[in-house]
Amino acid sequence: MTTKKAYLIGSPVAHSLSPKMHNLAFSQLKINAYYEAIDVQNDELQEIIQSFRRENFIGANVTMPHKNNVIKYLDELDITSKLSSSVNTIVPKDDKLIGFSTDGKGFIDSLTTYDVNIKEKKILILGAGGAAKSIIVQAALDEASQIIIAKRKNSSYQDTINFANTVTNTTNCTIKVIDINSSILEASINESDILINATPIGMKENDTSIIPAKYLNHNIIVCDLIYEPNLTPLLKSANDLGCKTINGKYMLLYQGARSFELWTGNKMPIEIVKAKFFS
Ligand code: NAP
């Protein structure tokens, strides 16, 4: 029987844990499929997506910088990827390629590992890129009571306000946008239950915390989507204050598990994958 193919497309992808995760899950469930990461540049994207229509294709993940660009080559989108304009999972169905965004669900699933439920919580999220938008849409659909987006006041600020208005009108959640560098950031953090860093600040060795430590209080749960390093400067200052802190490690696991289920109809053997790669 022919082996089905799954891919991660993006650039860079060499460091990704996804092939190991999915190949272990395929072999555990005796699914004849193989997952491979391929480095894809912008000018190669259309051709790669076309090849998915011809191949023995089971599904793909999409990562930076293609989460938005890929949309124009797909046939349909689920509600989260439509509202967030971000696709991290492609699923073939009846000769069509359908885009999904599992980042938001993966993040919210990861919180349950720490007994955190976002229902009726006030959330402040730093950044408004693909991962942030997927989390915002999912949190709004899952009945967070309020979401404040703090982002730089640059050319995409108005687009973020438009996005916030669209999600507010589609869900029961109030979403507003503030300038990350304005004086209301501290008060906005103070009125929130959960703070999420969805910017890349904290990944590099010499990065300092994205916000001053004095803006935090010990009651707030502080999350960072970054998992390498596992303790970013933001999480370190939150830990020092005694806050509950959560990094992006299990988001990676659970967004992958959601993709796996969309491709195969089977639950990923989470505990086996977790024990092997996430302990
Ligand atoms: P993205 O689409 O490039 O968005 C990045 C966001 O960060 C943008 O809103 C950008 O602001 C903001 N930003 C960048 N530099 C900034 C700075 N100096 N000050 C303030 N804001 C800044 O990236 P993404 O895909 O959403 O990823 C964001 C982070 O999440 C990355 O660290 C990524 O590794 C991580 N991530 C983790 C997982 C996981 O499974 N754990 C999954 C996805 C992403 P502008 O809007 O102003 O440009």
Q: What is the per-residue pLDDT across 255-278, written as a single tens digit (0 to 9) for each?
A: 999 999 999 999 999 999 999 999
pLDDT in tens, 2-26: 999 999 999 999 989 999 999 999 9
Rounded Cα–Cα distance for residues 153 and 82 (Å): 24
Mutation to probe ligand 1, out of 88, 199, 201 (largest number of atoms < 8 A from CB): 199
To test the pocket of ligand 1, the residue of 210, 225, 230, 260 to mutate (highest count of ligand atoms within 8 Å of its CB) is 225
- Ligand 1: residue of 152, 161, 278 to mutate (most ligand atoms within 8 A of CB) is 152
Per-residue model confidence (pLDDT) at position 160:
97
The predicted pLDDT at position 165 comes to 97
Residue nearest to atom 43 of ligand 1 (CA): 131
Q: Which residues of the chain have pLDDT under 50?
A: none
Name the 3-class secondary structure at 17: coil
Q: How many angstroms separate the CA atoms of 131 and 107, rounded?
A: 9
DSSP state string for 166-187? HHHHHSS-EEEEEETTSTHHHH
Which numbered atom of ligand 1 lies nearest the CA of 156?
A: 46
Residue 23 near residue 5 (C-beta atoms within 8 A) = no
Task: Check if the beta carbon of residue 221 is closer than 8 Å to that of residue 235.
Answer: no
Pairing mode, strands 57-62 and 174-179: unpaired
Q: Is the CB of 221 under 6 A from ligand 1?
A: no
Query: Which residue has its alpha carbon closest to ligand 1 atom 41?
Result: 248
Contact 32, 49 (CB under 8 A): no
Peptide bond into 19 cis (omega under 30): no
What is the reported pLDDT for 172?
86
Q: How far is the CA of 271 from the centre of ligand 1 (A)?
A: 28
pLDDT at 207: 95
The pLDDT, as a whole number, for residue 55 is 81
DSSP for residue 127: -
Ligand 1, atom nearest to 202 Cα: 32
pLDDT at 107: 98
Catalytic: 67?
yes
CA of 200 to the centre of ligand 1 (A): 5
Question: Using CA atoms, how far apart are residues 251 and 88, in angstroms rounded to an integer?
Answer: 13
The CA distances from residue 246 to 102, 113, 152, 254, in Å, are 18, 10, 24, 14
In 3D, which of 79, 186, 57, 60 has the Cα closest to residue 124?
186
Q: Does ligand 1 have an atom closer than 6 angstroms to the CB of 127?
A: yes
Atom 10 of ligand 1, nearest CA residue: 127
What pLDDT score was predicted for residue 161? 98
Sole residue written with tokens 């501290």: 186
> What are the structure tokens assigned to 99, written together?
């885009």
Whether residue 206 has its Cβ less than 6 Å from ligand 1: no
Quick one: pLDDT at residue 279? 82
> How far is the C-alpha of 143 from the C-alpha of 261, rounded, in Å?
23
Other C-beta atoms within 10 Å of 191: how many?
A: 11
Contact 102, 263 (CB under 8 A): no
Q: How far is the CA of 224 from the centre of ligand 1 (A)?
A: 11
pTM of the predicted model over 0.85: yes
